[in-house]
């Protein structure tokens, strides 16, 4: 069974690599986990347990993901039977006679423990931004293994009723009937595979290049996973002695109709991008790779031999007025400072609508050779902080490369990225986010 699960897990990893999985995740969950059933009129109580999840997230859309992988957890259940309650099952003694085997326990408790490994298949919906709300829903196929139980009782009264003779035997320990004090027993069980409906919800937070998920989870079993008993006896009948009475587990009673796997509690998961290449959404598909802007064009200084200047009398040179430095006008400053929109998500090439603006900026700067500029790239709040800083820098460098191609010296230009840190308007709608994907220019 474990080999089969491992094979499925390896297959999922291969598929995820081919499908360019968005995120590798490892998570821990803890809460109440066990079997929910009723036996001899008593309800079972699920106990604390934990789950380890390892999986991949496959993007299906802007806000929809498919999550799969492998999960393994430990499950614990406890049940106590009422004092003085007699549990009966028909047996055959060593002489071949049929009789009703009655067990009356006092202070009986039993704890069942097992591990279960399997495969989850979940769909996830999430919001956008650095902090996201998410909800997962789907199913899990779980295979229980290493199933064990520990039982104890202050006292067991064992008796046998023979309907053919209308007699009940109480105190014949040499024939398996009598009273056992301070009884303990343990053993193994077999459980069938479980199918559960599974759900989780919570919030995730961007942490540099990682994402932290915190929330609540719940699994509810759809099928009965306990094996039906052939005789339904609480303990095994021994025809020769009562000194070593073996338990059969509460799960072997005929009164157990349905044992479902149930778990719920808190979960924490760390999401790790599966590839280092920056993936961001664009109008051409769910993701695009940030392409570096064109290399800056170097300034070339051409030395031209000038003709000899005409000799001027020193007295006349002293009388010439000093050149007046031309100052940039407020209207020209406004043209330079007005933001240029990079409206599409993930766009780093200079949009056609911004090229005319940059042409005007280049013409203005050509008239003021002493003026230097700072180009700042901005983004909206979609994506991680680290990714948005890189996208903002790429936009700033693309605008700088365009100005250099129009004759502005590279030494006059400095670039900077502020990512999503300073939005022009709140990131509350797609229209506002388009405005925040921009480049601004300020004078140095």
Taking the C-alpha atoms of residue 264 and residue 32, their distance in angstroms, rounded to an integer, is 6
Residue 70: pLDDT band with limits 50, 70, 90: very high
Of 379, 294, 393, nearest in space to 345 by CA: 379
Tokens in use for 442? 């300020």
Q: Where are the domains of the chain?
A: 2-79+110-149+183-275, 280-301+328-443
Are 17 and 60 in contact, with CB atoms under 8 Å apart? no
Residue 10: pLDDT band with limits 50, 70, 90: very low
Phi-psi sector, 406: left (phi>0), alpha (psi -120 to 50), beta = alpha
Element housing 65 (H / E): strand 64-80
Q: Which is more confident, 278 or 121?
A: 121
Taking the C-alpha atoms of residue 7 and residue 13, their distance in angstroms, rounded to an integer, is 10
β-pair type (109-126, 98-106): unpaired
With tokens 């014949």, the residue in question is 172
Of 44, 75, 37, nearest in space to 226 by CA: 37
Q: What is the CA radius of gyration of the chain?
A: 38
With tokens 């140095």, the residue in question is 444
pLDDT digits (tens, 9 = 90+) for 343-367: 888 889 999 888 988 999 999 999 9
Residues in a beta bridge with 217 = 200, 265
Tokens in use for 183? 């009884």
Tokens in use for 29? 């969950």
Taking the C-alpha atoms of residue 348 and residue 331, their distance in angstroms, rounded to an integer, is 28
Task: Note the pLDDT of residue 287.
Answer: 41
Q: Check pLDDT > 70 for residue 308.
A: no
Are 199 and 218 in contact, with CB atoms under 8 Å apart? yes
Mean pLDDT of the chain, nearest integer: 85
pLDDT digits (tens, 9 = 90+) for 288-307: 444 455 555 444 444 445 44
DSSP state of 250: G
Which overall architecture, per CATH, does domain 2-79+110-149+183-275 show?
Beta Barrel (2.40)
Taking the C-alpha atoms of residue 54 and residue 72, their distance in angstroms, rounded to an integer, is 9
Of 406, 386, 399, nearest in space to 442 by CA: 399
Note the helical H segments in 264-419. Answer: 314-319, 330-337, 352-367, 385-405
Taking the C-alpha atoms of residue 277 and residue 36, their distance in angstroms, rounded to an integer, is 47
pTM score of the predicted model:
0.59
Averaged pLDDT for residues 127-137: 94
Of 431, 419, 367, 364, nearest in space to 393 by CA: 419
> What is 280-301+328-443's CATH number?
3.30.1330.60
Task: Note the pLDDT of residue 254.
Answer: 86
Are 142 and 53 in contact, with CB atoms under 8 Å apart? no
Residues of the chain with pLDDT > 90, as a percent, come to 64
Tokens in use for 71? 């999960």
Element housing 16 (H / E): helix 2-18
pLDDT digits (tens, 9 = 90+) for 251-286: 989 889 899 999 999 999 999 986 544 444 443 444
The total of other beta-carbon atoms located within 10 Å of residue 37's CB is: 23
Of 34, 47, 79, 32, nearest in space to 251 by CA: 79
């Amino acid at each position: 069974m474990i080999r089969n699960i491992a094979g499925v897990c390896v297959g999922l990893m291969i598929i995820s690599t081919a499908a360019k999985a968005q995120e590798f995740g490892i998570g821990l969950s803890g809460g109440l986990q066990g079997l929910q059933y009723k036996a001899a009129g008593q309800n079972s109580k699920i106990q604390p347990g934990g789950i380890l999840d390892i999986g991949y997230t496959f993007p299906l859309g802007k806000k929809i993901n498919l999550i799969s992988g492998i999960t393994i957890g430990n499950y614990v259940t406890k049940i106590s039977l009422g004092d003085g309650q007699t549990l009966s099952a028909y047996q055959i003694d060593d002489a071949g006679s049929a009789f009703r085997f009655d067990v009356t326990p006092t202070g009986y408790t039993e704890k069942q423990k097992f591990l279960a490994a399997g495969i989850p298949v979940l769909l996830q919906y999430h919001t956008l931004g650095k902090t996201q709300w998410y909800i997962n829903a789907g199913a899990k196929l779980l295979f229980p293994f290493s199933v064990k139980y520990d039982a104890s009782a202050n006292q067991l009264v064992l008796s046998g009723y023979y309907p053919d003779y209308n007699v009940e035997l109480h105190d014949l320990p040499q024939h398996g009937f009598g009273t056992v004090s301070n009884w303990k027993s343990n053993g193994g069980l077999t459980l069938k595979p479980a199918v559960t409906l599974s759900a989780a919800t919570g919030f995730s937070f961007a942490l540099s290049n990682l994402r932290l998920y915190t929330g609540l989870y719940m699994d509810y079993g759809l099928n009965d996973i306990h094996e039906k008993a052939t005789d339904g006896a609480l303990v095994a009948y021994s025809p020769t002695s009562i000194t070593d009475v073996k338990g059969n587990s509460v799960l072997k009673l005929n009164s157990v109709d349905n044992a479902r796997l149930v778990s719920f509690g808190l979960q924490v998961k760390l999401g790790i991008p599966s590839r280092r290449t920056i993936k961001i959404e664009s109008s051409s598909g769910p993701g695009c790779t940030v392409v570096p802007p064109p290399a800056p064009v170097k300034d070339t200084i051409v030395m031209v031999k000038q003709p000899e200047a005409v000799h001027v009398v020193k007295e006349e040179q002293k009388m010439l007025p000093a050149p007046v430095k031309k100052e940039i006008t407020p209207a020209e400053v406004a043209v330079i400072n007005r933001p240029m929109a990079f409206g599409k998500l993930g766009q780093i090439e200079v949009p056609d609508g911004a090229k005319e603006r940059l042409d005007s900026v280049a013409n203005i700067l050509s008239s003021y050779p002493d003026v230097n500029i700072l180009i700042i790239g901005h983004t909206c709040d979609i994506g991680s902080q680290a990714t948005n800083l890189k996208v903002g820098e790429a936009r700033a460098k693309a605008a700088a490369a365009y100005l250099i191609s129009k004759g502005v010296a590279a030494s006059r230009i400095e670039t900077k990225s502020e990512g999503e840190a300073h939005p022009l308007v709140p990131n509350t709608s797609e229209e506002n986010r388009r405005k925040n994907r921009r480049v601004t220019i300020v004078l140095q």
